[in-house]
Amino acid sequence: QKEVEQNSGPLSVPEGAIASLNCTYSDRGSQSFFWYRQYSGKSPELIMSIYSNGDKEDGRFTAQLNKASQYVSLLIRDSQPSDSATYLCAVNPWQAGTALIFGKGTTLSVSS
């Protein structure tokens, strides 16, 4: 059973701090990794994708991938109250076509 694990949270950080969200996956052959943000009552919104080991930065967001450790993380710098949401990690397992396996999500709360 291919799995994607995330701490459910809530992760609470003060405004302006760095929020660190973590994800581990079971399928060593996975090639593509994604972070989605989901506000309460809304649909998931793609915010980052990463395909190779290392860091990928986009504005205040940095995705980090370590395939050897089967670990993906998302850093949010200068966290804002508007970042308060559930963050879903998604992985494309080996030989799964284009299907994604989602983690259950980590709830982030940023206090002002």
Minimum CB separation from other proteins for residue 7, in Å? Answer: 13
Give the chain's radius of gyration (CA, Å).
13
Sign of torsion, CA 72 108 86 26?
positive
Residue choice 105, 106, 108, 110 for contact with other proteins (CB under 8 A): 105
Stretch that binds other proteins, among 12-20, 30-38, 59-67, 68-76 (CB under 8 A): 30-38
Q: Does 71 bind other proteins (CB under 8 A)?
A: no
Task: Write out the binding residues for other proteins, residues 84-103 only, by CB under 8 A.
Answer: 88, 90, 92, 97-100, 102-103
Our CB check for other proteins shows the closer of 18 and 46 to be: 46
In 3-state terms, what secondary structure has residue 82?
A: helix
CA distances from 69 to 16, 29, 56, 64, 108 (A): 29, 12, 17, 12, 24
